Amino acid sequence: MLGENGNVDTAPYVTDGLLTAAVDLARDAANVEAGGDWVGEHLEVAMEGERLATHLFACTNPAYRGWRWAVTVTRADGFDEVTITDAVLLPGPDSLVAPAWVPWAERVRPGDLGPGDVLPTNANDLRLVPGFTDEDSLEGLSSLAPLSPGMWELGLGRARVLSVLGRDEATERWDEGDFGADSPMAKAAGQPCGTCGFLMTLGGVLGQAFGVCANAYAPADGRVVALNYGCGAHSEVEGGESENVAVVVADEESWDHVDLSDVEDLPAPLEAVVEELADSTAEDHEVSEGDLDSDLVPEETSVAEELIEAEEA
């Protein structure tokens, strides 16, 4: 029914001539509903049921482009008088409409809660179960099937505790998150968190798969991590402290050997320089002074000797 703001039902019904001809009556009703001159041309008429028809008029209001005025008319069986049953503004096929309504509780996503916000928990939330908080509650367990510690939890002042469903949803969410085994960081790590000294273990069944990182330099510091997650800040990474070692590299290929044999007025005799150079060369190459003329003596020594001979001449 158009009165319920739904689409026009065009199922085949017997056409009622009196109803389809009541265009002016339907237009007057649309003008009253519009409260102004916002009713345009007559678009179509459709039979929605026996002796029930809907007239559609274009809406000329620029704020409702593509919308249509829908006026439903009817008449009683055996009577010719046509009456108005409903007049509403409905979207057309090309109208801009709001998305389907989603309840507020379903729109909230993880991370939306901010300071001062309150998010009520449903009384029938399947992620929670009643917590056994006193001896009377524990006495009632005798009539139930035997429960293992993994199947129930002492509330310790909490009215409800995590259910098996809530625990499974949390483990799946954590394992598939940024600190799970399939994250890029974990795949590039050499060792898992399960062998790291910075891992703080969790109690209960969750401790079998997760822990809390306590390494200030790790990307997961203070976060729940899977035991098979890992990062480069593992406590057992080998290598120790890095050392800065200065390496001196002598570029011997770029030395320029200059012949000073033709230079006059040298600053000072080079005998001492030659003797020091010869001594260091002999020590480095483990040769005696008599061997200084051998091939082991660097070319610089012979050049210096030539300079002294040139100066004495």
Render each residue's pLDDT in the chain as its tens digit; 313 residues. Answer: 444 455 555 557 889 999 999 999 999 999 999 987 899 999 999 999 999 999 999 999 999 999 999 999 999 998 999 999 999 999 998 898 888 888 877 788 877 877 887 777 778 888 887 776 544 545 554 444 444 444 455 556 677 888 888 888 999 999 999 999 899 999 988 899 999 999 999 888 888 899 999 999 889 999 999 999 999 889 988 765 544 444 455 555 666 666 666 666 555 555 555 456 556 555 554 544 444 444 544 555 565 566 666 666 6
Tokens 């399939």 found at: 182
Tokens 């309840």 found at: 103
Q: Specify which residues 44 forms β-bridges with.
A: 56
Q: Enter the DSSP assignment of 241.
A: S
Quote the CA–CA distance of 242 and 244 in Å, as a whole number. Answer: 7
Q: Torsion over CA of 164, 223, 117 and 105, rounded to 10 degrees? A: -40
Residue 200 — φ and ψ, nearest 5°? -100, 125
Dump strand ranges (E) for the chain. Answer: 39-49, 52-59, 67-74, 83-91, 128-130, 160-162, 199-201, 210-213, 224-226
pTM over cut 0.85: no
